[in-house]
Amino acid sequence: MPADPRQRDEVIADAVIELLRAQGPRSVNVESVAARAGIAKTTIYRRYRNRTEMIAAALTSLASPPQPPDVSSPHPLLEWVIEQSLAAIESGIGFGGVAALLTNEDPQFTELIRTLLVAHRAALAAVVENAAATGRLRADVDIDTVLDCIVGAYLAEQARSGLVQPGWTRRILRTLWPAIAISP
């Protein structure tokens, strides 16, 4: 077991996310996380009052995407938005979490994830709205619809073929670009 408490927190968070992605939120409980992380249940109970607090701690990064590396040009900005939208699924809740969210199989989890996703979307929207306000993207861009198109297309490709093909980000970028770019 890691000696550093921050490392223990990371081990717990990694176990929560692995279980969530693979099997959905019902698989995430203190016993399964302790077993996956290779730590004692008491270590988890000292840190978190309950399962919801443990899941929230593991997914807090979902609410705060990193800042885009390049905001000077709209093309890399949209690419960043696409990548961050995918990261919320791939590095965040996974398909197990998406399925649970869509079916509302665990209402407490659904409420938690919606709260985190709203914060995540707000962070992405702020970057796009700033680009629109400064004339780098169309001023009338409906960012919620753009984000819905990204996530929907990602889930549709996964559902249709069982995986998201390489080059997907570039394909979606080419598809959405005419809808948000300022016409010459």
pLDDT digits (tens, 9 = 90+) for 143-180: 899 999 999 999 999 999 998 899 999 999 999 999 88
Domains and CATH numbers, the chain: 5-60 (1.10.10.60), 64-180 (no CATH)
Q: What is the mean pLDDT of residues 112-126?
A: 90
Return the pLDDT at 132. 87
Q: Looking at 79-88, 92-101, 114-123, 161-170, which range is the least confident one?
A: 92-101
- Whole-structure pTM value: 0.83
Q: 5 pLDDT exceeds 70?
A: no
Structure tokens at 173: 């970028």
67 secondary structure, DSSP code:
P
For residue 60, the SS3 value is: helix
For residue 107, the SS3 value is: helix
List the one residue out of 181, 176, 103 whose CA is nearest residue 146: 176
> In whole angstroms, what is the distance from residue 132 CA to residue 90 CA?
28
For residue 40, the SS3 value is: coil
Structure tokens at 125: 């929207």
Q: What is the mean pLDDT of residues 111-126?
A: 90
Contact 176, 78 (CB under 8 A): yes
Q: What is the mean pLDDT of residues 101-121?
A: 90
> In whole angstroms, what is the distance from residue 31 CA to residue 53 CA?
15
